[in-house]
Each structure stands twice: as structure tokens, then as C-alpha cells.
A = this chain, B = another copy of it.
């Protein structure tokens, strides 16, 4: 496999999607991994775009069949990443971008560490995060409070990531993201290294 994996984590409200969109013209061809979930679609969300929406039964069969690279339950719903499209994209030499939480990052690194570069994206302060979540106003207060609590937890895992981007300015953060994404493509995995050594010695 010639591709590479770029894991993006960070609190909801950190600006991950904005940064990817902003940087997308500078990072060449990539495959953005779409998660599978059992939760209900929110207004405006589309199957196969925002998530693959499946039933609990289908998800649990997938788990048994080993179809998931990583999965977790959050507030009673399953969220996971199907292995098949990721493998396909890697075989095609693409950069695969994941937007997953710190737990997902641990699992992906454990299973495919050879291919992984990871970035934690954070707003500059907790206050700024709260401000952004209220400004977005797609969620009610109790959900925002839960997101803030989750964020406080997630920041503790910051040391597990290869890079940290403080999203103070979208322009600066997107340029940093593009630099990291382009370097991620150059990461050699074990399999390739062995080929290089063999080729080199002969």
C-alpha cells in the first residue's frame, strides 16, 4: 500500500471542517473518510455525505464481521469507520483523512500506525470554544455544555498527536494543515522501508 493516513481530532467547534475545506486545493488528491453511525440524521444531513446512516442491527453485524477499523458508542449511538473504503483508497495511493475523536485516533494508530500522521486542532481557549458553539447555535444549551465537557477531556490527549494546530486564524491554521498533510504523504511505512533496503543493497 502506498497511501497515507492523516487523523484529525479536536473538540467540536475547533473548526476542523473549515480548515479542510480551506486547505483542500493545496493538498492534492485525498479521500475523506465518512463515518458510519446509527444515530438519526439531523436536518440537512445526507446519507453518504455527512455519514453513512445504518440501523443498529446492520452496525452490529459489521462489528462481528470485522468490517470496522474503529468504532465506539457515544450517548447510546454507534459511530465507526468502515475498513473497506480506507483500504481501497490506500491501495490507490491516496491520502486518507479521518475526522475522529481521541479514542478513534488511538485505535487507528494501534491498527495502522505505520501509515498514520495525526493532528489535534484546538481553538485558542476554552472561552473561545464556548463562544463558537453558541454562535453556531445548531445545538441546545445542554448539548453545548456536554461538548465543552468532552473538549476538556480531549485536550488531555494532546500529547499523543504528532502535531497541534491552534486555530486562531483560519488562514494560518489552513496553511499549517496543508504543510502537515503534504508531509504525511511522504511518511514511509515499514513495508516500503523494507523494499527500499532490499533494492538499495542489490
Give chain A's interface residues, CB within 8 Å of chain B. 122-126, 152, 155-156, 158-159, 162-166, 176, 179-180, 182-183, 186-188, 190, 192-193, 196-197, 199-202
Cβ-defined contact, B126 with A201, below 8 A: yes
A125 to B200, CA, bound (A): 4
- New contact pairs (7) apart from A125-B202, A164-B196, CB-CB < 8 Å: A126-B200, A158-B193, A162-B187, A163-B183, A166-B196, A179-B182, A182-B183
CB distance from A114 to the nearest CB of B (A): 11
* Cβ B179 vs Cβ A186 within 8 A: yes
Residues of the B chain whose Cβ atoms lie less than 8 Å from the Cβ of A192: 164
User: Which residues of B sit under 8 angstroms from A201, Cβ to Cβ?
Assistant: 126, 152, 155
Complex CA distance for A183 and B184, rounded to whole angstroms: 9
Q: Are A200 and B155 in contact (CB under 8 A)?
A: yes
Interface pair B159/A200, CB less than 8 Å apart: no
Q: A193 contacts B180, CB within 8 Å?
A: no
**Pair B125/A155 contact, Cβ less than 8 Å:** no
